[in-house]
Structure 1
Amino acid sequence: MVVGLLFACHGAASLFGVLGGAMGGGTVPAGTWPSWYAAVIQLGAGGLVLAGLGTRSAAFLASGSMAYAYFKVHQPESLFPLQNGGETAALFCWAFALLVFTGPGALALDRLFGSRVGAGSTTRRTSEEQAAPVTA
């Protein structure tokens, strides 16, 4: 939830100028490649991860966008994240990559809406199965 909130805050700052605005203090002009699209991904995917809706898919998209940001923006400046200012991009990338594999937590909204059948749970029989005689 915290990673999703922080990621969404970055997107909101870039798109709406809240929380200090974009890096230059303002907003990113709409449609600007790749900054505006990255901000939309940050806000959308961060909000989904925060809520626990489609966590794996949102985390996959967010991780990829941060990998792109690191290798296209930060890494050409210098090799190491401490030298090129890419610490947050690297940390977000790996945090979201972890969420792709671990999935949402116990407080995710997906748990309320999902109807997955887990181990030890009972399933309902269809009307055809109920009408059929039981044979051993």
Structure 2
Amino acid sequence: MTARLNGAQPYALGLFRIVTGLLFACHGAVALFGVLGGADGKGGTAATGAWPNWYAAVIELVGGTLVLLGLGTRIAAFISSGAMAYAYFKVHQPQALWPIENNGEGAAMYCWAMFLLIFTGSGAFGLDRLLAKRTSTQEQRSADQTPVAA
């Protein structure tokens, strides 16, 4: 049983990354474009350049999309995790100690989910893994075709 679960780990991690990235990107799209009810629930958007809302939305949209695709996963997750830590400690935590009290559970969960992806990478289904395989295959081919000096 354990061996089978361990064998499925890259695929479960890949699905975790895809869902986390999609939901994170949706938060950015809500604030930037007013879709899915918008930032205020009435189709509103974050004012362009407004600190920190607009910048957080850009990080959410771009970072979430990169994490979803598994492209530059570790870097995107690092920036996204930091942004959510900032959001929690600067916006939510001053209102109350616990995330459930200060409405910061989303920021806390995304912070830790992205933090996990910094260390695990993209898992299965990620472009990072596909590009790494392609690069290593091309390097192997070029090494095989290198003529041996006489």
TM over 0.5: yes
C-alpha separation in 1, matches of 2:30 and 2:86: 20
Partner residue in 2 for 1:84: 102
C-alpha separation in 2, matches of 1:17 and 1:23: 8
Structure 1 or 2, whichever has the larger Rg, is 1
C-alpha separation in 2, matches of 1:125 and 1:50: 33
Partner residue in 2 for 1:34: 52
1:10 aligns with 2:27: yes
1:75 aligns with 2:100: no
Q: State the superposition RMSD in angstroms.
A: 2.1
Aligned partner of 1:2: which letter? V
1:104 aligns with 2:122: yes
- Following superposition, which runs of at least 4 residues in structure 1 exceed 4 angstroms of deviation? 115-118
Aligned pair partner of 1:63 in 81, 91, 98: 81
Runs of 5+ consecutive residues of structure 2 not aligned to the other structure: 1-17
Percent of aligned positions with the same letter in both sequences?
Answer: 60
C-alpha separation in 2, matches of 1:104 and 1:72: 29
C-alpha separation in 2, matches of 1:23 and 1:60: 28
What's the TM-score, normalizing by structure 1?
0.87
Aligned residues: 130
Partner residue in 2 for 1:23: 40
Q: Which protein, 1 or 2, shows the higher relative CO under an 8 Å CA cutoff with sep ≥ 6?
A: 2
- 3-state SS of the aligned residue for 1:79? coil
Deviation track 1:1-50 (CA, whole Å, cap 9, x = no partner) reads 00000000000000000011003531011010110000000000000000
Q: CA offset at residue 112 of structure 1?
A: 2.2
Runs of 5+ consecutive residues of structure 1 not aligned to the other structure: none
Aligned partner of 1:94: which letter? W
